[in-house]
Structure 1
């Protein structure tokens, strides 16, 4: 696999938008019809500058979607689930069944993640139920 370095995440977002626009007829139709209430959700930790570049090309708005992984205590780069802004906890049950984590360790990791979500919400001054107001979305 060949990796292409970009001058910035913003520029990478612009290039990604051009590429998707050239390859995806659904996106092309949405953009050309100027459908309202289409937003891109950016995930912090690198996603916001990419979203800015992407949306600048496609003339879309974006918002920050705060989701945090539930970290495996002995490997904080990996996670066994995630937590959303409304407190929903999603667990990868298959992975969790393979880990040797105690119930207390699992609960502690989830609570730590919920606290991180609250801190992110405060940092971004984010209304937690704003996502429900969007009408159209594009995934994948």
Structure 2
């Protein structure tokens, strides 16, 4: 399967999440930045609220696309020990990269949320959305961060995932919804015709539209 872009992928993914439509206790949480356009379409189709959970990949030195781990809101850090050992990455290097990525995480949280508090997740079903899963480091950091907030259920929803990453997540969340698990996988971007970098301004704009849509719905009911 080849998606035209993140918007089309989100629209297609939403069809498999129809059971969650119009449920006031459901919240779609996007992983910025690439997950936001996908999640926006999911939240719009389901008529539920949208927010973000900021996660930062810890890239291997000299190969930033390869994740040796990830950090997330709430002080969560996870490491892929196989990658760390394979590239012989020292604790000092890991800590240095963590500090750098923590600064960027905090910058993005302020940019996307401002003074708006993180939503209360207790007794809610959270649909965690990204544009795809490769190593799974970022999604696992996000899951650990979410567990600290004690939601009722965690659902991971992505258009595409590496088969081994998909299998690894089975049993670690309440449900996984994935449109395609191609093999060989190569990379997330391989399965999109158009896969430009999502910019901060697009994230802010989509979040603002989603918030206004939910406000309008609330006032009309």
Name the SS of the counterpart of 2:33 in structure 1: coil
Listed as ranges, the gaps of 5+ residues in structure 2 are 127-154, 157-175, 177-221
CA distance in 2, matches of 1:93, 1:100: 10
* Structure 1 length-normalised TM: 0.78
Does structure 2 retain, via aligned residues, the 8 Å contact 1:86–1:128? no
Could you tell me which residue of structure 1 aligns to residue 125 of structure 2? 136
Listed as ranges, the gaps of 5+ residues in structure 1 are 22-26
CA distance in 1, matches of 2:94, 2:103: 14
Could you tell me which residue of structure 2 aligns to residue 12 of structure 1? 9
Could you tell me which residue of structure 1 aligns to residue 93 of structure 2? 105
Query: Structure 1 86/4 Cα, relative in aligned 2: closer, same or farther at 3 Å?
Result: closer
CA deviations over 1:112-134 (Å, ceiling 9, x no partner): 11111111111113569725534
Which structure's CA Rg is the greater one? 1
CA distance in 1, matches of 2:57, 2:12: 28
Name the SS of the counterpart of 1:130 in structure 2: coil
CA distance in 1, matches of 2:115, 2:31: 15
Name the SS of the counterpart of 2:109 in structure 1: helix
The alignment's C-alpha RMSD in Å is 2.2
CA distance in 2, matches of 1:126, 1:132: 16
Does structure 1 retain, via aligned residues, the 8 Å contact 2:27–2:49? yes
- Alpha-carbon distance, 1:36 to partner: 2.6
Could you tell me which residue of structure 1 aligns to residue 51 of structure 2? 63
- Alpha-carbon distance, 1:41 to partner: 0.9
Q: 1:79 aligns with which of 67, 70, 89?
A: 67
How many residues are aligned here? Answer: 128
1:118 aligns with 2:106: yes
Name the SS of the counterpart of 1:81 in structure 2: strand
